[in-house]
Amino acid sequence: GIDFDGTNVWVPVAQYRPNSSAIIYRVDATTLDVQKQFEVKDHFGGIVMDKQTGHLVGNTWGSRRFAEWDLQGKELSTWDNPDFFIDYQDCQYVPNSKMLCDGITNLPQTPAAGGNAATYELGGMAMIDLKSRNVVREVPFQQWSTAGHVATRNPFKMTADGDHLTMKVAPDNGDEGNGTEILTYEATASTTK
pTM of the model: 0.90
Q: What are phi and psi of 161, to 5 degrees?
A: -130, 95
Nearest-angstrom CA–CA distance, 155 and 88: 10
Parts of the chain with a pLDDT under 50: none
3-state class (DSSP) for residue 167: strand
- Give the model's pLDDT for residue 113: 86
Question: 76's torsion region: left (phi>0), alpha (psi -120 to 50) or beta?
Answer: alpha
- Give the model's pLDDT for residue 190: 83
3-state class (DSSP) for residue 14: strand
Query: Which amino acid does the sequence have at 131?
Result: K
- Give the model's pLDDT for residue 67: 98
- Give the model's pLDDT for residue 193: 67
What are 154-174's pLDDT values in tens digits? 999 999 999 999 999 999 888
- Give the model's pLDDT for residue 31: 98
